[in-house]
Amino acid sequence: MSDGAHASERVAFDVAPAGRHCPPLMSRTDEGRVVDFEAAHLVVRLGAIAANYKTVQRLAGPAVAAAVVKADAYGTGLDRVAPVLVRAGCDTFFVARLEEGVALRPLAPEARIFVLDGAQPDAVPALISHQLTPVLNSIAEVAGWAAAARATKTRLDAGIHIDTGMNRLGLPASELATLSGEHAKRLEGLRVVMLMSHLACSEDADAKMNRLQLDRFKTALSMLPPAPASLAATGGIMLGKDYLFDLVRPGLGLYGGNPQPAKPNPFAVAVRVTAQILQLRRVDKGETVGYGATFRTKRPSLLATAALGYADGLMRAISNHGAGAIGGVRVPVVGRVSMDLVTLDVTDVPGSLSTGMEVEFIGDTVTLEDVAAAANTISYELLTSLSHRATRRYEDAP
C-alpha cells in the first residue's frame, strides 16, 4: 500500500507477535492490585455545573434561579449533582416524577421541590409525607389536592400549570376560565406558590410562538389571584427580561448544553465522554467498514476502532455522520456505530497514534450540539441516553 506508507511510519501498533496469546487489557494500581481495564469514561464536571448555575443567576437576575434535575439530573447523576447545586445556593428544584422527588428530598432537605407530573390520586400521600409540591395540571387535580388539604386539615402548597400552546399538560383555556371564575372556592385550602407555563419554541429566538405564549401567559396571570410566576426554562432565559418573571427553571444549561444553538453557548462544558482506541488498522482504497458495508474508503486510510457504541449512548444515527476528536483534532465516524464499537478515519491526525489513546465523543471539541445535529436529535436526548456502562468520574466538586 505505497500510497499509505506514510501512515505506518507514525503509528505505534500494540500487536502481539503471531501465535502469542494476548492477555486481557488490564491496569495496575500503585498498590499492585490489578483492576479491569476501563475502555470508556463519562466525566461530569461538577464545578462546571455550579458555575453554570451562577451564570443562570447572572443572566436571570433578579428572578430566582431554580434547577431542573429530572431524569437523574439529565443523566449526570442526581446524587452527585443535587448537593453541588444546594451548595451553590439553589433552594428550589423541579423533577418530573414522584419517585424523583422522593429521591431528591434527603439530598436537599430544606429545598422546595416541585413535581411536574402533578398530584395523581395515588401519589397524594407520598407528596404530603415527603413535603413535595405538585404542579397541578387540571381542574381535577386542583380538586383532588384541595380535598387532601381538607382531609389533613392543613393548607397545602401548590403550583398551577397553565397551558399557553403546548397542548400537553396544564390547564387549557376552558379550565382556566372556570378556575378564574371560581378561584375562591376551588383553591380553598391551597397556597398557590407558583403559576407556570412552558415555552414550545424557546430554542429559536425569532419564533413567533414565543411572543404568543408570553401574551397568553400574561393574560392568564391577570385572571387569577397574584402568585409568583414562571415561564422560562434555559432557552426562555436567553429570550430576555420579558420572559423571566419571578422564577426561572434552567435544565439543559446547567449541564453545559446550548439552549439556542444558533448563538454562542454561554455555559461551560459539564459532560465529557471518551473511549480508548482498541485497534489501529491500515486499509487500501475501496475497503468497506462496519455492518452493512455502508462506508467505502476513497483513499488508503488509517482506521481507529474505539470502545464505545450505542449500548453506551453513542447513537447509531451518527453512523457516517458524526465525529470524534483526538488531541483536539476532529476525525469522522466511518461505518455504522455498533453496540460496543465505533470506527473513525484517523488518517489526517498529525503525530503518532497508538492503541489506548483517548478519543473524545462529547466534550470540549465535539459538543453536545455537534453530536445532536449528526444524529438528527437534540442535546436533551443525548444526555439522558448516556448509559452507566462507561466508567463515571466526577471532577471539580466545589
Catalytic annotation present for 310:
no
Q: What are phi and psi of 147, to 5 degrees?
A: -65, -40
Please say whether the dihedral angle defined by the alpha carbons of residues 287, 289, 295 and 297, taken in this order, is positive or negative: negative
Is 70 noted as a catalytic residue in this protein?
yes
Alpha helices in the chain (DSSP H): 5-9, 46-60, 70-74, 78-87, 98-104, 124-129, 139-152, 173-181, 183-186, 208-223, 234-237, 368-375, 379-385
Length of the chain counted residue by residue = 398
**Measuring CA to CA, which residue among 330, 362, 365 is closest to residue 344?**
330
Burial of 216-254, coded b for 16+ CB within 10 Å and e otherwise, reads bbeebbeebeebebbbbbbbbbbbeeebbbebbbbbbbb
C-alpha distances in angstroms, 193 versus 41, 114, 158, 359? 41, 10, 6, 47
The C-alpha cell 408570553 sits at 214
Asked if 284 and 297 count as a contact pair (C-beta separation under 8 A), the reply is yes
Number of C-beta neighbours around residue 378 at 10 A: 16
CB atoms within 10 A of CB 141: 23
**208-223 and 173-181 helices cross at what angle (nearest 10)?**
20
DSSP class of 113 = E
Query: Residue 289 corresponds to which cell in the numbers above?
Result: 467498514
| Burial tier of 134 (Cβ tally within 10 Å: 0-12, 13-18, 19+) | buried
Count of CA atoms in the C-beta half-sphere (13 A) of 222: 6
Q: Which of 70, 74, 255, 310 is catalytic?
A: 70
The catalytic position among 54, 241, 263, 291 is: 291
Q: Enumerate the active-site residues.
A: 70, 291
